[in-house]
Chain A
Amino acid sequence: MIRLEGVHKAFGGTHAALAGVDLEIARGEVFGIIGRSGAGKSTLVRLLNGLERPTSGRVLIDGTDVAALDPAGLRALRRRVGMIFQNFGLLSSRTVSDNVALPLRIAGASKAEIAAKVPALLARVGLADHGGKYPAQLSGGQKQRVGIARALATDPEILLCDEATSALDPETTRSILALIADLNRELGLTIVFITHEMDVVRQVCDRVVVLHAGRAVETGTVADVFLRPQAEETRALIDESGEHAEPVGFDGPIVRLTLHGGAVLDPVLTRIARDTGTDFIILDGRIGRLKDTSFGRLTLGLLGGDTARAIAALREKGDVE
């Protein structure tokens, strides 16, 4: 549905925000773009609705080159692509209802249509009673819900989220992510989610690209990228989210075990301990969820018994480093 071919983007001078990015995003998927500030994430997402134009390369939405559209064509495309922002981008001078109605007014919808649609949109995001308030009277999470309702007003097929949860606390972030995941399931929306937080990607995304200095250093399913990172930049991002911490001192063989899917629910360690006589000391560990599957990641110290056989047995259940 969305395709980037050799996209370069430079702002003035020689500094390239994007230095040759190829991507393909399928219809109905939640696609994450992760990277540090300055990696080119915001530039990339703005290419998708023509807020920025590539210096070279092509950005295709359903086969249409965004940069080749005339102003009217671009406006028509933008009605099919909703966008939400880190700072919400609400009009402070208008009520919640008027904010949500704005895209409809711009699209030339009739008064009756607007009157019918705005309450439905507000109900969809859980703000049915807040239509008459001004944005300043809402909490951060409520403001982002208004942003989402507004982005959905023109029944888009794609939703672009630019650091949509970065200004929110962890609990509000979870509730906004849950709403976004619902929209993806119920409306079949294709979602492009930009963030610098690995946790956010882990919770909602199907696939992810890691952006570093304007290049896509790694692309793949969230499980692949998160559990078996190939690029150094990816590892660094995962480390920052508290994964892969250095274990406490242990004088003996140490292995890192990664499990995912059903293996998480197997009594792996106790079984191997019984078979091989090796005891396991958990030095660091985490069991958690990737969007739809479970994962476990343990750093184990091995004590006594047949450690070689124990490691071989672990290897059968998951990835061992």
Chain B
Amino acid sequence: MSTFFVNVDWAEIAQACLDTLTMLGGSLALTVLLGLPLGVVLFLTGAGQAWENRWSHGALAFGVNLLRSVPFIILLIVMIPLTVLLMGTSLGVAGAIPPLVVGAAPFFARLVETALREVDRNTVEAVQAMGATTRDLVFRALLPEALPGIIAAATVTAIALISFTAMAGAVGAGGLGDLAIRFGYQRFQTDVMLVTVVLLLVLVQFLQAAGDRLVRHFTRK
């Protein structure tokens, strides 16, 4: 094996894998934490909903669209001062997480909003007609009903985050993408490139399969 992969430093690959998984885990957790409430508020302030308000909905939607329209590589650079302020550094895994979250949370929020809109209109009305507060409506009806959709949204977001981590590698975040760029691309070490791409592929496949399984598990339709 070592004759085929002369340039591959397996210890470094292992470290890169760990870095990628840490970036993914940390940023996905924070993305869900911030994006889920944002998606719920986007939904509730929308037309015909409990907190219907054109101005707040418009402002939120504009903010979300703004962040989603900035290319991630630009976002990485623009956010450096904020990242330093939050994490003390703009480098490494810690420095990658704030831009990853800012890049992915608005995306996830939009997917959550869409999943909530899929909840049957009669079901929402039925729960309101029981005398539910908005809080009851969100926690007892909307989120449980939309759970499969939200899990699917988290899966799509996680996979988008993997490609974001590769880009974050370009500005010194570490991880598999960083290896692919520094060794595979800049030093023409095709074997390193191949190993990182295969590992990323395995990761994506695993996430998609796990996500699909969870969606099936929670679907009662």
Known contacts A85-B126, A90-B126; 6 additional CB pairs below 8 A are A51-B125, A74-B131, A85-B125, A89-B120, A89-B125, A150-B130
A89 to B137, CA, bound (A): 13
**Smallest CB–CB gap between A198 and chain B, Å?**
24
- How big is the B interface, by class? 20 to 34
Is chain B's binding surface mostly helix, strand, loop or mixed? helix
Q: Which residues of B contact A26 (CB under 8 A)?
A: none
Question: Closest B-chain residue to A11, C-beta based?
Answer: B48
> Which residues in A have their C-beta under 8 angstroms from that of B126?
83, 85, 89-90, 147, 150
Contacts of B125 in A (CB 8 A): 46, 51, 83, 85, 89
- Say if the beta carbon of A94 comes within 8 Å of chain B: yes
Per-residue interface assignment for chain A, residues 103 to 138, with 1 indicating a CB less than 8 Å from any chain B CB and 0 otherwise:
101110000000000000000000000000011100
With the chains together, A285 CA to B221 CA distance in Å?
A: 46
Give CA–CA (A86, B122) in the complex, Å: 8
Q: Which residue of B is nearest A107, CB measured?
A: B131
In the complex, A88 has a CB within 8 A of chain B: yes
Contacts of B123 in A (CB 8 A): 89-92
Known A-B contacts A78-B131, A85-B122, A92-B221; the reply to A105 vs B140 at CB < 8 A is yes
A contact residues, total (Cβ < 8 Å): 35
Residue of A nearest to B137 (CB): A106
Q: Which residue of B is nearest A90, CB measured?
A: B123
Q: Which of B113-161 contact A (CB under 8 A)?
A: 120, 122-133, 136, 140-141, 144-145, 147
Interface residue? A244 (CB, 8 A): no
Question: Could you tell me the distance between the alpha carbons of A88 and B129 in the complex, rounded to whole angstroms?
Answer: 13
Known: A89-B120, A91-B141. A83 touches B129 (CB 8 A): yes
Contact with A along B72-99 (1 / 0, CB 8 A): 0000000000000000000000000000
Q: Is A75 an interface residue (CB 8 A)?
A: yes
B220 at the interface (CB under 8 A from A): yes
CB of B218 closer than 8 Å to a CB of A: yes
